[in-house]
Amino acid sequence: MDATLFHNPACGTSRNTLALLRHAGLAPTIVEYLVSPPTKPQLRQLLADMGLPVRALLREKEPLFAEMNLADPRWTDDQLLDTLHRHPILMNRPVVRTPRGTRLCRPSELVLELLPDGPLPDFVKSDGEVVRDHGRRLPG
């Protein structure tokens, strides 16, 4: 199964998601979006595939979010997409795409819904939390 991970290696959730993908036997294409930011059309497509509004992809905990006053409703979707492209640190992560769908995987175990039919053996996240896969999957 093909998988693409929009990844920030400094993010624990992103690292756990990558580890879960590998635990499932996948070798995902890794897009380090801080190095190679998605284009505005790519961001639009990711959001459309996830069925999410633009604001759902904004990382509100990022200090730049407050500095730029991005919570202000005056920002249009088009402006926010431009801002996400120019400042990829604002992108909420990780985002995973497989043939079963595309989703923002916060928490990391949400990626299980995008994997091949399971269940997988238990997985231990970096903080020691055990993830049990009950085999629930999105239709593929």
Rg (CA), the chain: 15
**Domain-located, residue 73:** yes
Active site annotation includes 105: no
**Domain-located, residue 136:** no
CATH classification at residue 51: 3.40.30.10
Distance from chain centroid for Cα 35? 16
pTM: 0.93
Question: Going by C-beta distance under 8 Å and a sequence separation of 6 or more, which residues neighbour residue 1?
Answer: 26, 98, 99, 115, 116
**Domain-located, residue 140:** no
Each residue's pLDDT tens digit, 79-122: 999 999 999 999 999 999 999 999 999 999 999 999 988 789 99
**Domain-located, residue 31:** yes
How many structural domains compose the chain?
1
Instruction: Name the residue range of residue 64's domain.
Output: 4-131
Choose, from 5, 11, 58, 105, the residue flagged as catalytic: 11
